[in-house]
Amino acid sequence: MTTQAVFRALADPTRRDILVMLAREDMTIAEVSEHFDMTRAAVKKHLSVLQEGELISVRIEGRARVNHLEPHALILASEWLDSFRRFWDDRFADLHQAIEAEKSKDNKND
């Protein structure tokens, strides 16, 4: 697990969506695929990238592969970002409202 593997995994919007989905419940490849307009093979590739970055783990149940969120690696990214916190902490309150506005725009664009 490297910082690079984690940030690379987070760089794709499909993969970030998959993480959000897996935060709610474990899912098979087929179940994850239902939520996207792409082939199962493409989704499988994204899941492989997430697994390489160790953001998810997989357990095999019969013929199914059940994907499970592994938050461990996310801590790495979170801590990397935290090292910049001194630059924004003192004006965080001022910025908070602006960020909320940005985030609502975001949902339409991502």
Partner DNA sequence: TTTAAATGATACCAAAAGGTATTATAAAAG
Partner DNA sequence: CTTTTATAATACCTTTTGGTATCATTTAAA
Task: Count CB atoms within 10 A of the CB of residue 26.
Answer: 16
34 binds, among its own copies, DNA, none (CB under 5 to 8 A by kind): none
75 binds, among DNA, its own copies, none (CB under 5 to 8 A by kind): its own copies
**Region of 62 on the Ramachandran plot (φ > 0 left; ψ -120 to 50 alpha; else beta):** left
| Interacting span for DNA (CB under 7 A) from 8-16, 71-79, 86-94, 99-107 | 8-16
If one asks whether residue 98 binds its own copies (CB under 8 A), the answer comes out as yes
101 binds, among its own copies, DNA, none (CB under 5 to 8 A by kind): none
Residue identified by tokens 């725009």 is: 105
| CA atoms of 9 and 77, how far apart (whole Å) | 11
Let me know how long the chain is. Answer: 110
Near its own copies by CB under 8 A: residue from 11, 30, 38, 64 = 11
Minimum gap (Å) between residue 31 Cβ and DNA: 7
Over the window 15 to 54, marking each residue x when it contacts DNA by CB under 7 A and - when it does not, the resulting string is -------------xxx-------xxxxx-xxx--x-----
| CA atoms of 9 and 16, how far apart (whole Å) | 8
Shortest CA distance to 35 belongs to which of 7, 52, 13?
A: 13
